[in-house]
A and B are shown apart, each in its own frame.
Chain A
Amino acid sequence: DAGVTQSPTHLIKTRGQQVTLRCSPKSGHDTVSWYQQALGQGPQFIFQYYEEEERQRGNFPDRFSGHQFPNYSSELNVNALLLGDSALYLCASSGPDSSNQPQHFGDGTRLSIL
């Protein structure tokens, strides 16, 4: 039973570039949440996708966008990259009522902006 998988593992970009990160949820899960985690900090909620739509969004600018596909996999896109976007990006999946179900995390994508 595959857990949450994310790709790529590491990525190096320069300021102003665009990046796409990918996530496949755990089998049986249909809800995907994306988080940004800076070093020494807790995860910061970016947005959550359910039924191919953005259901909830955290306090992130429009440069951060996403998509969910019919197979429940998801992408996170970040445009016009800034140095401050350097972080670990975590994808978590759960059943539809994620308010009371544990989220299962992937190993993350470490994004470095030069």
Chain B
Amino acid sequence: GQNIDQPTEMTATEGAIVQINCTYQTSGFNGLFWYQQHAGEAPTFLSYNVLDGLEEKGRFSSFLSRSKGYSYLLLKELQMKDSASYLCAVSGSNYQLIWGAGTKLIIKP
């Protein structure tokens, strides 16, 4: 079957660095997306990885290893506004996005 696993909840301190992991097993692979979702709001796109390696975009970076079925989202210089859920989604076969349940990130002062 198809499955995406993420930790349910993580806590970090303002100004620190946090890594959110995502492991996946899917039929077909056309890339992996990370989205941010604040409570009561729509998900917003953060990053897309289709090749192995690290993609850096400001304070956020995303890493992919296709052979290991593994990705992580790295958030640096954490700010209070980064408190949100972070969703990992894999583009499998037939145009379908398979979503993880999301990781709720709590930032403490």
Contacts and interface: CB of A to CB of B under 8 A. Distances in A.
Interface of A: 4, 33, 35, 40-45, 48, 55-56, 58, 90, 97-100, 102-108
Given A40-B101, A42-B87, A99 B95 contact: yes
A107 to B, nearest CB: 5
B33 interface: yes
B60 interface: no
A104 B35 CA distance: 10
B48 A90 contact: no
A43 B48 contact: no
A106 B30 contact: no
Contacts of A98: 91, 95, 97
**Which of B42, B91, B100 has the largest count of A CB atoms less than 10 A from its CB?**
B42
B19 interface: no
A41 B48 contact: no
Nearest to B4: A42
A42 B101 contact: yes
